[in-house]
Structure formats: C-alpha cells, structure tokens
C-alpha cells in the first residue's frame, strides 16, 4: 500500500507521464542566481497490470555559483527503469527528499569564518556595529531591515517625530552587509537551528512574489549569535492579541496613529451619539511602566495642544486612561513616582488601578467586574520569551529565556551565543536575569563583539576552534540610571544604580532637557539626529501634523 501511495503521488507530481522521466522544476532565487531542481520518477507496469515504483536515489553534485558565494544544495534524481533496488519509503519521506533548499554552505579552509546574527534589535545592532569584518564574514537574518530607537517610538504615534527618525537601516550600522561579497542581510525569520550541523533554517518574508511559499533556505555558521528579542506579555488574557495595539515597532506606531486620527474624524460625523463619541475618543493604556507612561504623556500633549485647536467639535470628549495593577514606574524613586502621578493627573490622564480580566472589541472587563469602553487600546505590560525562543531545544534561564553563562555562551552546544531580551543568566552562574532594557542589551552587544574580535585575532573564529581560548573577564552590568518623559515639557531622571540604592533623582523641566539631550546623542547616525532635532523644532513652532495617511 505504501508503494501504491508513492506511485500515485509521483503520478500527480509528474502530471501523468508514465514510462519516462517527468520533471518538476522549482526555481530558487537568492542574491541573483537561479537553481533548477528536477524531481524525476519512473513507474514500471508488470504483465498482470500491476505497477511497481523504483525510488532509488542518486545524488548529483551541487552546482556552485559565483554570485557572492551562494551555492545550491545537492538535489536528487530518481533513476531509470533498469534499476534493480526498490526502496520503501512513505509519502512524507518522499516529500522531504524533494524539498531541498538553496543556502550558504559551510565556509572552506582559507575563507573567513562566518558569524550569523539573528535579529536587528539593540543587542544585535551594537554587536554588528563593532564586528571586525576583516576577520569575519557576517550574515544578519531578521524580519525587519532596520533597528528601532524605542525610547522615542511613543513620540511618533502623535506626530511629534516622523517614523523614519526612529528607524536606522541595518546596512548603515554595518556596511559590510551591503558591500562585502560574502556578507549578507536576509529578510527572513529563523525557524530552526541544528547545532550539530552548525546550520540555521529560515523562512523568507514573502508576499507571493517568490517561486514558492513558504520560501525556505539554510545558512551554515561558524559562530551563531541569537539576539531575536522578545514578545509583549499578554498573560494569556482573552482578546488582547485580537483587539489591543502593542508599541514595540514602527508598524505598531503607524497603526496606533491611524486608529487615533480615524476615531477623531469619525466622531465628528453627524448622528454620532454622545456615548459613542466618548467611547471612540477614549484612549486606554494598559501598563504603568516607562513605555505606558511616556505614551500617556505624549497623548496628553497632543490633546491639549493640537486636538483642542483642530478638533473643536469633539475636544471635550477625548480622554486618556492609564490602568496599572500596582504603582506606575515601580522601578523609579518614590518621590519621582509621586511627581509623575500628580503631573499626569493634572494633564488630564486618568489613573486607575486594576487588573484586566478580558478584552472585547469595544470594552475592557476588569477583575472587579468594571467595564471600560474604549476606542483605542495600547498594551504595554512588559515582554517575555517569543514562540521561537520557547521552541528552541536549548537550556533556559528563570523566566524562559535562553540560558547563558557570564560570557553569553549557551552551555552544552558549541559556538552558540545569546544576548539581549531573549537571553538570561543560568541559575548556576549565581547572577539574576537582567531586565529587558535597551541599555542592558546595548551593553551586552558591546561586550560580546569585543570578545568575538579577540577570539578572531587568536584564530578561534572557525567552528569548533575556540576551545581553550582565554575569554578574559566575564560580563558585569552596571546600571547608569533611568529616564522617562511625562509630557508637558517634564520628565524624570533617576540616576540610582539599583532600586534600593541611593543616588540623584530629578524631575521637571531640567530633567526634560536632560532626557532630550541624552536620547539625541544616543540616536545612532548623524542623519537621524538631524531628523530628530528638526522634527522637534518643527513641532514646537507649527504643532503636530494631523494628516491620516494609509
């Protein structure tokens, strides 16, 4: 029966061609080359009108292409009817044999070792920026081709800044990705890792333009750096994924802006009841951390300086509510938390304590039964491990992140490192898992790239070649402080090294100047620094743009 199923499957694939080769061509296009794979089959008819299938596999040598070092993987062809050996295999095994992907093969002796980086967040981009490309070839794999300057992301939602001011193309951070013949950026998501073969398996971001969907390929590595970030925590609450907006990427900010402006314009239509106007223009923010507070502050500024002037018919209906289970800005000094509470309340932000039980399309239900209608819901309750990280068969730290030692090596596997929001210290290191902050990720990326450059200079860059190489002092993180804007030209600056330590704490206009100056200097490129400065000046003079595009 298995043989019959196989024969029928191949009959369908060969479009009914019996007694001769039938060809199915799959085109693989990566970096400008095309590889053609022929899958052939042969069916013999016996005198009793029964047929037999001959699936003996013959492997052909792979075809090498000169286009930036990419080569096709081996492909398989089934032999003619003269073959004597019959191999039984299931349809799924046959399908697996037929699915061979183009990719980057392992580096050869004499070639530079290849470092594969998964992600384009703070940790990954700081690592990419400092990597010595005279020692290494580098391949970056991510579903986005830019880094997002997250501290200023909330400002883009209301038009204080343009979206491009917070996006830094990864090819500007590490120009080898665009210029070096054996370094690449692939717009794709990693779907699996084979640590034994030193290969990662990827699925390209595809809109139907590629020869097949999903379009999959593999990349061999000498060293692998996993910096794939994290996902927003929803705590399994029903309806969050479907109805809430998150604020972690540029496309999130774009969607929030479109919804906010749409609701403002819809609420001006004739025949809309007062109750519906209040719901449409009720902006609810869940989570009182720095992101939630800064977004609430930006919204309150937008309402007081722009909505009241340009949407006079509905200006009295728009409100912002910030819901937090405990206290807002819990990691900040007590006096700063009190200042933020007073200032936000004075700015018109309604602060409410509560735990969300369920989210519907037009209202939130809290654990005490309270129903909160909304028109815009922004969810900002922290981050946790992504589905990709959870699926990896690697050691895990407390909280589910990838477990690492003091040098960000993943124990029990060779040449694999992890850093950023997706990584945390293992329990046996005796160190706590660090918070998912930009400054933590950036500091980790700087440490690891210095380690890689050191290993490379000692000829330890190739796979399995770093054993016995001295690594130097382990990573030690020192917190340099926290900052948060609360709107109205006010901000908080907490320079304590830890929550329980003593240190300088500031609030008010001076803190706002420090906040803006610090973030302006931290923007990666001079181009984006200029964009940010010009946008701030334009907003101060002319107000925020309220065009709804898209």
Which pLDDT tens digit goes with each residue over 46-56?
444 443 333 33
pLDDT band of residue 504 (cuts 50, 70, 90) is confident
Per-residue pLDDT reduced to its tens digit, 509-538: 999 999 999 999 999 899 999 999 999 999
Alpha carbon separation from 547 to 115, 258, 264, 265 (Å, rounded) = 43, 9, 12, 11
Indicate if the pLDDT at residue 5 is higher than 70: no
Structure confidence at residue 12 (pLDDT) = 42
Q: Which CATH architecture has domain 245-381+481-542?
A: 3-Layer(bba) Sandwich (3.50)
The pLDDT, as a whole number, for residue 69 is: 42
Q: Where are the alpha helices (H) located in 165-249, listed in sequence order?
A: 170-173, 176-179, 240-243
| pLDDT digits 0-9 by tens, 310-336 | 998 898 999 999 999 999 999 899 999
pLDDT score recorded for residue 546: 80
* pLDDT over 70, % of the chain: 81
Q: Which residue has the tokens 């030692």?
A: 405
Which residue ranges does the chain devote to CATH 3.50.50.100?
A: 103-232+385-458, 245-381+481-542
User: For residue 216, is pLDDT > 80?
Assistant: yes
Nearest to 493 by CA among 517, 476, 520: 517
Q: What confidence category does residue 499 fall into, taking pLDDT thresholds of 50, 70 and 90?
A: confident
- Tell me how far apart the alpha carbons of residues 405 and 395 are, in angstroms, rounded to a whole number: 11
What mean pLDDT comes out for the span 478-489? 93
pLDDT value of position 282: 97
Using only the alpha carbons of the chain, give its radius of gyration.
28
Measured CA distances, 223 to 2, 115, 297, 449 (Å): 42, 5, 43, 12
Contact of 408 with 397, CB cutoff 8 Å: no
User: pLDDT tens-digit profile of 64-97?
Assistant: 333 344 433 333 333 334 434 433 444 444 444 3
pLDDT band at residue 101 under the 50/70/90 scheme:
low
Structure tokens at 196: 């034994």
Q: Please state, in angstroms and rounded to a whole number, the distance separating the CA atoms of residues 369 and 519.
A: 41
Mean pLDDT computed over every residue of the chain: 84
Convert 59-90 to b/e letters by CB count within 10 Å (16 or more is b). Answer: eeeeeebeeebbbbbebbebbeeeeeeeeeee
Please tell me the pTM assigned to this model: 0.81
The architecture (CATH level 2) of 103-232+385-458 comes to 3-Layer(bba) Sandwich (3.50)
Tokens of 445: 């990326």
Helix (H, G, I), strand (E, B) or coil at 50: coil
Average pLDDT over residues 237-257: 96
What distance, in Å, lies between the first and last C-alpha atoms of the chain? Answer: 55
Average pLDDT estimate for 478-505 = 88
Share of the chain above pLDDT 90, in %: 73
pLDDT at residue 466, as a whole number: 84
């Amino acid at each position: 029966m298995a043989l019959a199923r196989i024969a029928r499957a191949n009959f369908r694939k060969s479009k009914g061609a019996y007694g001769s080769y039938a060809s199915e061509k799959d085109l693989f296009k990566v970096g400008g080359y095309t590889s053609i794979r022929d899958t052939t089959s042969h069916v013999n008819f016996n005198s009793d009108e029964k047929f037999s299938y001959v699936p003996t596999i013959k492997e052909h040598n792979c075809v090498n292409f000169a286009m930036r070092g990419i080569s096709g993987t081996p492909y398989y062809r089934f032999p003619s009817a003269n073959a004597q050996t019959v191999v039984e295999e299931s349809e799924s095994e046959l399908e697996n044999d037929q699915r061979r992907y183009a990719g980057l093969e392992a580096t050869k002796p004499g070639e530079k070792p290849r470092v594969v980086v998964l992600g384009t967040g703070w940790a990954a981009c700081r690592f990419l920026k400092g990597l010595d490309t005279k020692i290494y070839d580098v391949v970056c794999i991510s579903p986005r081709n830019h880094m997002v300057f997250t501290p200023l992301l909330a400002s883009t939602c209301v038009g204080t800044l343009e979206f491009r001011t917070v996006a830094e193309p990864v090819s500007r951070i590490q120009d080898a990705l665009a210029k070096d013949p054996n370094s690449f950026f692939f717009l794709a998501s990693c779907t699996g890792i084979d640590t034994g073969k030193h290969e990662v398996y990827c699925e390209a971001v595809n809109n139907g333009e590629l020869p097949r969907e999903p379009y999959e390929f593999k990349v061999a590595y000498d060293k692998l750096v996993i910096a794939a970030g994290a996902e927003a925590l929803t705590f399994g609450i029903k309806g969050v994924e479907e109805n809430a907006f998150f604020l972690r990427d540029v496309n999130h900010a774009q969607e929030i802006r479109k919804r906010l402006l749409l609701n403002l314009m819809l609420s001006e239509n004739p025949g809309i009841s007062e109750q519906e106007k209040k719901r449409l223009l009720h902006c609810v923010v869940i989570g009182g951390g720095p992101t939630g507070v800064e977004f609430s502050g930006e919204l309150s500024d937008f309402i007081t300086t722009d909505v009241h002037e340009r949407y006079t018919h509905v200006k009295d209906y728009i409100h912002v509510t910030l819901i937090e289970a405990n206290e807002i800005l819990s990691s900040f000094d007590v006096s700063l938390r009190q200042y933020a509470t007073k200032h936000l309340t004075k700015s018109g932000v309604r602060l409410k304590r509560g735990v969300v039980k369920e989210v519907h399309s037009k209202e939130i239900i809290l654990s005490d039964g309270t129903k909160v209608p909304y028109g815009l819901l922004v969810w900002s309750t922290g981050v946790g491990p992504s589905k990709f990280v959870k699926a990896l068969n690697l050691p895990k730290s407390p909280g589910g992140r990838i477990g690492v030692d003091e040098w960000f090596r993943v124990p029990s596997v060779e040449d694999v490192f992890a850093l950023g929001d997706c990584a945390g210290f293992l329990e046996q290191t005796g160190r706590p898992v660090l918070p998912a902050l930009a400054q933590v990720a950036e500091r980790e990326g700087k440490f690891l790239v210095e380690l890689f450059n050191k290993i490379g200079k000692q000829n330890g860059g190739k796979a399995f070649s770093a054993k016995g190489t001295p690594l130097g002092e382990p990573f030690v993180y020192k917190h340099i402080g926290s900052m948060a804007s609360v709107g109205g030209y006010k901000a908080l600056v907490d320079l304590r090294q830890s929550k329980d330590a003593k240190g300088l704490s500031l609030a008010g206009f001076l803190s706002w100047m420090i906040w803006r100056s610090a973030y302006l200097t931290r923007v990666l490129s001079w181009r984006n620094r200029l964009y940010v400065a010009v946008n701030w000046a334009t907003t101060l003079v002319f107000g925020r743009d309220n065009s709804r595009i898209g």
